[in-house]
Amino acid sequence: MGAMTTVFRYEPYVWVSEDGVPPGTEHFWTFGPWPWYANAVTITAHPFALAGADRSMAVTSISSRAAPNGERFIDCTVRNIGTDWVNYAVWIGGVGP
């Protein structure tokens, strides 16, 4: 019988301010160091829902990197693609070998 796959989730990483993030604004996030090697990782940004507002977020890039000391990181860019200001949370999930 083969090894079991590991499913993982880290959450939430929250970005909040009094007014939120204006439309078109991007934030850069770095996660780690963690043992990411050989894991399939996904990141989703969820806007906080408030009545009367159109809030949409997009993760526009995800990349992995290894530092000179061997530590591994996941980097991503999150963008407000909606028409209103937004506060949001970032969630990370994945599957390991």
Q: How far apart are CA 79 and CA 56, in angstroms?
A: 9
User: Whole domain around residue 81: which residue ranges?
Assistant: 26-85
Sign of torsion, CA 48 55 20 89?
positive
Instruction: Look at residue 51 and tell me if it is in a domain.
Output: yes
Instruction: Look at residue 52 and tell me if it is in a domain.
Output: yes
Number of compact structural domains in the chain: 1
Output the DSSP codes for 3-25: PPPEEEEEEEEEE--SS-BPTT-
Q: What is the pLDDT of residues 77-88, one digit of tens each?
A: 999 999 999 999
Instruction: Look at residue 61 and tell me if it is in a domain.
Output: yes
pTM comes to: 0.86
Characterise 19 by phi-psi region: left (phi > 0), alpha (psi -120 to 50), beta (else): alpha
Q: What is the pLDDT of residues 2-33, one digit of tens each?
A: 677 889 898 899 999 998 999 999 999 999 99
